[in-house]
Amino acid sequence: MIDVDHFKRINDNYGHLKGDTVLSTIAQSLRENVREAVAISRLGGEELCLFLSICNDAKLELTCDYIRSYLVQMASEQISICT
């Protein structure tokens, strides 16, 4: 499960439609860059659930580390939220 930090600020400052766009952008980018991601769905406000095709703990840990690093990099490149 991925919980997007500070997501409420995006919704409060830019509106729910822009917040939905940000989550969709994150999900699409994960689909394109995490080959183990079988499915990605939104669970609630800022939570995404990833279903991964991994059958051992070592690979799971590596994949989670990659996803975490990838999302940090993505955030540093600042997803455009300009209205």
Query: Which CATH number fits the domain that encloses residue 31?
Result: 3.30.70.270
Q: Is residue 22 part of a domain?
A: yes
The tens digit of pLDDT for each residue in 19-41 reads 899 899 999 999 999 988 899 99
Q: Is residue 35 part of a domain?
A: yes
Q: Is residue 83 part of a domain?
A: no
Average pLDDT, rounded, for the chain: 87
The tens digit of pLDDT for each residue in 44-60 reads 888 999 999 988 999 99
Q: Is residue 82 part of a domain?
A: no
Give the pLDDT score at 78.
Answer: 64
User: Which residues are catalytically annotated?
Assistant: 46
Structural domain containing residue 45 = 2-76
What is the side-by-side order of every strand in the sheet holding 37-42? 2-3, 47-52, 37-42
Q: Is residue 47 part of a domain?
A: yes
Q: Is residue 44 part of a domain?
A: yes
For 20, the 3-state DSSP assignment is helix
Quote the pTM value: 0.79
Domain count, the chain: 1
| Better-predicted residue by pLDDT, 31 or 77 | 31
